[in-house]
Amino acid sequence: MQKSSVASVEAPNANETNEETTRKGRGDRRELILDVASEVFLKEGYAAASMSEIAARLGGSKGTLYNYFKSKEELFGAYVLRNCEMHRSQVGELLKVDGDARTVLTAYARRYLEIFTSEKTLQNWRVISAESAKSPEIGRAFYESGPLQGVKLLAGFLDKAVGRGELKIGDTVQAAHQLISLIHGRMIKARLLNYIPVPSAEEIEVEVQSAIFVFLSAYGV
């Protein structure tokens, strides 16, 4: 009787499995390092933070930490980029939803204000902004990976809304910048300066409806 070859075909290659496990392990460890580094940067600020403290909190040696990041500058850069990716996914996903412009933009504006008026987000902004004054490349990387990518995502949605005949916009990138400025309004400046506490859902809704009303008054068909 001929033996079945199914088992030999489906059995994973041991070397490939080990490589995948190793990559996953390194990825998990890298994320853990960034979690701990974020806590240290937020508490101490970039200048006062040290690789020694981060390694101590991780329960390992500086040598192990340097296997993943060659310097504190590189680690801080990875922290900046991860924050950009996280915020972009949290807000940008709403622009991929099918729906009319008013509904999608209202949900987008609401999520935007909820995230960017939160204390943790503002702490990240303060730390990154402070370091950008001394290291312009940090600020450039942050702006290009965060706010600028956010504008491009929003402009992409506006392009589709224009194509559907819902909006009339000549320059969607400029319009995206304008909408984000309307959403920012007074709240984010006041929050950055600790002038107001974290806004309530009702307060956010008032700002959102006002911003969307002005934007659609200008660009709505």
**Structural contact between residues 102 and 179, judged by C-beta atoms closer than 8 angstroms:** no
Three-state DSSP at 13 gives: coil
pTM (predicted TM-score): 0.79
Distance of alpha carbon 34 from the chain centroid: 14
As a whole number, mean pLDDT of residues 9-30 equals: 54
Tokens 């960017």 map to which residue?
116
In tens, the pLDDT along 140-189 reads 988 998 899 999 999 999 999 999 999 999 999 999 999 999 999 889 99
Question: Which residue ranges form the domains of the chain, and what is each CATH number?
Answer: 8-70 (1.10.10.60), 77-221 (1.10.357.10)
In tens, the pLDDT along 144-154 reads 988 999 999 99
Instruction: State the SS3 of 75-124.
Output: HHHHHHHHHHHHHHHHHHHHHHCCCCHHHHHHHHHHHHHHHHCCHHHHHH
| Beta carbons within 8 Å of 52's beta carbon, 6+ residues apart | 62
User: Which tokens hold the place of 111?
Assistant: 């999520």
Secondary structure letter of residue 169 according to DSSP: -
